[in-house]
Amino acid sequence: MTALNLELDHTGVAVRDLDVGQAAYQRLGFTLTQRSFHSGSRTAGGPVEKWGSGNHCAMFENGYLEIIGITDPDLYSSTKDYLDRYEGSHIVAFGSGDADKSYPILSSRIEGVTPATKLQRDAPFGPNNEETRLAAFRNIHVDRDVIPEAKLIFIDHLTRDVLWQPHLLSHPNGAVALAEIVLCVPDLEETCGRLSRLLDCSPKDVVPGGKVFELDRGNVYVVTETRLKEWVPGVEPPCMPYVAGFGVAVRDLDATRKFLAGNGIATTDHPYPALWVASEFTCGPIVSFSQA
């Protein structure tokens, strides 16, 4: 099978109210971009049209976090489908390089891989947002009937300089990287079998009921509901399967803990070392912070 370097590029949290989502993640200590509005093509080669969704992003040295919501309910947006399922994490995007090169590789591994479509948005540019530049992407999607656990995207960044602007990389909570994604599934072996074919790698056993795919950068954890509830007692999956949460690496975990406490956000410690924040503060996902 042809090799393909894969990195955990970003995750997307769909929120019912973008103002609420923006406030929640700023309270968690993420520096967010100004609101940006999407346009895109629905099919490969199709026309670019205005969509009814917008986002705020937290850009890290490695990877990023997207908070996405509906901005015009009368226009098309894939975000509507996400919110019909549940409010919370849905998008799991892998950096895979040139879409023209990665598409034939991915489509040979599993059914349901679609040719790249265009996505773009006008983004503020410069330390004082003095300019507006186009952020452009080519996204390869995987049909959610094939991979129901998440909205999987393989992304080809055409304008990295517009996204990773230096002044956006500093966060009050000390975030430096998107470190991990957690998928909660009803059948661990069946899900890992499909993901093994798509990602062309085998997962490692980490705990009973939990496996991890180690990418070139970042990890994808797959856990059962029983294991999830051992990790986060009291959590109730909104449906199965689903994206249960994501993890962010930080410069100084003790400083992150103090920052969150100062903002009235309760945290729970883990010994590896890490801490997690419950869904009441995050619009759905479990958000963990680990020492970089």
Instruction: Give, for 268, the enclosing helix (H) or strand (E).
Output: strand 268-270
Mean pLDDT for the stretch of residues 114-141: 93
The DSSP code for 68 is: E
Task: Check pLDDT > 70 for residue 51.
Answer: yes
Mean pLDDT for the stretch of residues 6-13: 98
What is the DSSP annotation of 105-163? Answer: HHHTTSTTBPPPEEEEEEEEESTT--EEEEEEEEEEEB-TTT-TTSEEEEEEES-HHHH
At residue 28, the pLDDT reads 98
* Residue 260, SS3 per DSSP: helix
What is the distance, to the nearest Å, from the Cα of residue 6 to the centroid of all Cα atoms in its chain? 14
The radius of gyration of the chain's CA atoms, rounded to the nearest angstrom, is 18
Please choose, from the candidates 79, 92, 232, 210, the residue with its C-alpha nearest in 3D space to the C-alpha of residue 148.
92
The rounded distance, in Å, linking the Cα atoms of 125 and 183 is 34
Q: CB under 8 Å to 2, separation ≥6 — which residues?
A: 105, 108
At residue 157, the pLDDT reads 96
> Tens digits of per-residue pLDDT, 170-180?
999 999 999 99
The mean pLDDT of the chain is: 96
Sheet-wide strand order for 274-277: 204-207, 210-214, 219-224, 175-185, 242-250, 286-291, 274-277, 268-270
Conformational region of residue 172, where left means phi above 0, alpha means psi within -120 to 50, and beta covers everything else: alpha
Please choose, from the candidates 82, 1, 77, the residue with its C-alpha nearest in 3D space to the C-alpha of residue 39.
77
The rounded distance, in Å, linking the Cα atoms of 82 and 130 is 33
pTM of the model: 0.96
At residue 1, the pLDDT reads 53
Mean pLDDT for the stretch of residues 86-104: 97
At residue 272, the pLDDT reads 83
At residue 292, the pLDDT reads 94
Task: Check pLDDT > 90 for residue 271.
Answer: no
> Tens digits of per-residue pLDDT, 28-44?
999 999 999 999 999 88
Q: CB under 8 Å to 23, separation ≥6 — which residues?
A: none
CA angle 85, 87, 89 (to 5 degrees): 95
The rounded distance, in Å, linking the Cα atoms of 222 and 196 is 12
What is the DSSP annotation of 214-231? Answer: E-SBSEEEEEEHHHHHHH
**Phi, psi (5° rounding) for residue 282?**
-125, 5
> Tens digits of per-residue pLDDT, 210-261?
999 999 999 999 999 999 999 999 999 999 999 999 999 999 999 999 999 9
Please choose, from the candidates 166, 114, 156, 152, the residue with its C-alpha nearest in 3D space to the C-alpha of residue 135.
156
Contact 12, 91 (CB under 8 A): yes
Other C-beta atoms within 10 Å of 225: how many?
A: 18
Domains present along the chain, CATH in parentheses: 7-168 (3.10.180.10), 175-291 (3.10.180.10)
Task: Check pLDDT > 90 for residue 181.
Answer: yes
* Residue 7, SS3 per DSSP: strand
Task: Check pLDDT > 80 for residue 2.
Answer: no
The encoded tokens of residue 153 equal 């995207």
The rounded distance, in Å, linking the Cα atoms of 57 and 164 is 10
